[in-house]
Amino acid sequence: MTNKQINAAIETVLRRNEYWRMARDYCTNLNAMHKAEQELNANQWHQYALALNEVCWHWALIHAPARQRAEAFLRTLGKWEEAK
């Protein structure tokens, strides 16, 4: 997925209005991803940690960049689309 597709997918999941959709870049902004992560429930957090571990290729998860967090977030929610 492109950054634009990722941002749109996260906004759709979070049901933000059009104004915020244009203002947030989840692929480059850790603060935006932190806000998105707050929407996960306890069960989703476990799945998110597993997905983040897969996406980061053994990086220390606490240092994961926004782009990898965004991908793991969408994978957790079943919204990630593989490139065709």
Chain centroid, CA 73 distance in Å: 4
Rg (CA), the chain: 12
Task: Report pLDDT for 74.
Answer: 97
Task: Report pLDDT for 15.
Answer: 76
Task: Report pLDDT for 68.
Answer: 93
**What are the pLDDT digits (tens) for 61-71?**
778 999 999 99
Query: In angstroms, rounded to a whole number, what is the distance separating the alpha carbons of residues 13 and 27?
Result: 15
Q: What is the pTM of this model?
A: 0.84
